[in-house]
Amino acid sequence: MVEPDSLEGKIVALERNILNQPIKLPSSPFWDVFKKFGRDEALAMIVNVAGTASLDYLLSTSFSGALAPESRELALTIAGPIVEKAGFFPGHFKEAWETYKAAPLKERDPLSTYFKQAIKGGTKSLVQDIVVHDPLYMGMMYAGLQIYPQTPAWLLATTSFIAAVFAVAGLEIGTNELLYHRYKRALKKAGFGSESYLESRFLIDAEKDPQEVISSFVKHFDLPLVRRGKYHDRYFENTLPYYNNRTPVLRLRRRVIEDEGREVKSAQIVYTRASEIVSKEPEQFRYFPHQKDKIYFLLDQEMPGNIDEITNERAQRILKRAQGGEKYTEVHFERTLASDPSSLLVSVDQVQHQNPFYVLELKTFKDKRLLREAMRFVMNKFPVVQTTYRKFDLVGLQGA
């Protein structure tokens, strides 16, 4: 019988909170854009195809022979993009109304606030339609009429329409990726450093001694360095954009490396995106690492309590723009780690909170094969729960 107030009991309670959904993966950014833009375009497509078919019927009957073939093709090409504009906003207004009705009465904003958001969302899709979708659609539609003149106009319209939606989704994803890399370059020019790596995370049994876990990895993977440190993280609300479903955090970190008597202070913007390592061969386990991009500014000053206390004006200005409010969440943990900078880093973090718990983390620099091997070793040897939740998330879950 596990006592609920014991350390083991607290770990069990924490595990129960995440056992229902220990793995949380972001949806595909491509399909998110495709569904969002495609929903609006689908409504417009109904109007487009109906209008094109109606015009084709009208030109083939009432105006048969009255127009030159070139004029007929031009009319059919531009008809759809003109009439479809009526279909862009209904979906957004429907969502706005549903959100308005679902909001608690005391927290409900005026209906006009929700409708403004609906107009904003519909306008974005409309701009994408005019700037990208329409030119692609008209080009493909006109080419189809030239190359396959016997094909029904409604079929060409449908095919061209859907292909252009795919193109818009791909273009938005590519643009977001370029914006993300431009943002990182701008931070680098402002004096920020960066590192990127793959990371996996496990909740580990509270009865396990961190040194025992680390020793197993040192022996199995021939890791030379073992160190201990104390960490203090302060996470702030942020307004950072989600580039292609990467999740951002803004934090201040104080790290004390006990074995070296050294203190490292930094302000960090961290982007993570969880995914699954897919194996061609059948596997006993499934593997869900994060791709993590850590962008940091080293602080040569007393440890600040908030962004305003950062003495470097340029860094403070950049980080202040990213801050979304004064509220913050603190995470304290003690870390025992073994690492080979050229291959693998293994750490066991004891998070000091209302209900302490252990987190085992594995890190590699883009070596998925090695990471998968280390993850398999963990799941075979230790009682663990693999999770995509961060320590920051897990601290929040303890109050759930």
Cβ-based burial of 255 (10 A; exposed 0-12, middle 13-18, buried ≥19)? middle
174 assigned to some structural domain: yes
Are both 160 and 209 inside the same structural domain?
no
3-state helix, strand, coil in the chain (%, to 5): 50, 25, 25
Are both 65 and 160 inside the same structural domain?
yes
Are both 259 and 309 inside the same structural domain?
yes
Judged by DSSP in three states, 366 sits in coil
Q: In this predicted structure, what is the pLDDT of residue 55?
A: 74
Last residue in a domain, options 161, 184, 207: 184
Domain span holding position 130: 29-184
pLDDT tens for each residue of 57-93: 777 776 555 566 667 667 777 776 777 776 778 778 8
160 assigned to some structural domain: yes
Are both 196 and 142 inside the same structural domain?
no
Report the number of distinct structural domains present in the chain.
Answer: 2
Q: In this predicted structure, what is the pLDDT of residue 400?
A: 43
| Distance from C-alpha of 246 to C-alpha of 173, rounded to nearest angstrom | 12
CATH number, domain containing residue 359:
2.40.320.10
358 assigned to some structural domain: yes
pLDDT tens for each residue of 250-308: 999 999 987 777 899 999 999 999 999 887 888 889 999 999 999 999 999 999 999 99
| Distance from C-alpha of 345 to C-alpha of 56, rounded to nearest angstrom | 66
pLDDT tens for each residue of 313-353: 999 999 999 998 888 999 999 999 998 878 899 999 998 87
